[in-house]
Amino acid sequence: MQTFSELENYINQHYKVVHHEPFMLAVDVKVGSDGRSQDIWLAELKNSDERRILRFETNIAPLREHDAEKCLRVNLMLRIGYLAVGDMDGTPFIKLCHNLTYDLLNESSLRYVINHMALLGDNIEDTLTGGEDLF
């Protein structure tokens, strides 16, 4: 996959798309056996040397209830993705993110990152929210 258009075609065939706009998609991924799901957002970005990057992102929980230092310490344990803070309707939210350059992007890596982030994001969300399925 070398273009966002190729990525869109693959995503539309294999995932439930819940949001679509130019160079941005969101998919709903079922996780576990108890009906939980996690939305994964995909967006094309360019880094400082103009290389195209695919950003994967999923919302976890409002930051206000959690220690930012603990969140940063969790980053040391993550093998795929990193925790970050972004705003949602003016409220700081913990997000799980991952960046992948297009030269490393293929069907296998795409499936792996989407499914891994959905499961990990849901597990972190479940832990931080006491079982609520916010996203």
113 found inside a domain: yes
pLDDT at 99: 95
CA atoms of 132 and 135, how far apart (whole Å): 9
C-alpha to C-alpha distance for 106 and 104, rounded to whole angstroms: 7
Asked if pLDDT for residue 58 goes beyond 90, the answer is yes
Q: Which domain holds residue 67?
A: 4-129
84 in a structural domain: yes
Q: What confidence score (pLDDT) does residue 52 get?
A: 93
pLDDT number for residue 70: 78
The number of distinct structural domains making up the chain is 1
Residue with tokens 């966002």: 4
| pLDDT of the residue at 64 | 82
pLDDT of amino acid 134: 56
Q: Does any domain span residue 17? A: yes
Is position 98 within any domain? yes
Query: What pLDDT does 132 receive?
Result: 62
Q: What is the CATH number of the domain that holds 81?
A: 3.30.1460.10
DSSP H or E stretch at residue 9: helix 4-14
Q: Is 18 helix (H, G, I), strand (E, B) or coil?
A: strand
pLDDT band for 131, please (50, 70, 90 cuts).
low
Domain membership of residue 10 (yes or no) is yes
> Is pTM, for the whole model, over 0.85?
yes
Residues 95 and 129 sit within 8 Å (Cβ to Cβ)? no
User: Does any domain span residue 134?
Assistant: no
Domain annotation covers residue 117: yes
- The per-residue pLDDT for 133 is 56
> 122 CB contacts (<8 Å, ≥6 apart)?
31, 32, 36, 37, 38, 133
Tell me whether residue 56 is in a domain.
yes
Task: Give the mean pLDDT of 38-54.
Answer: 94
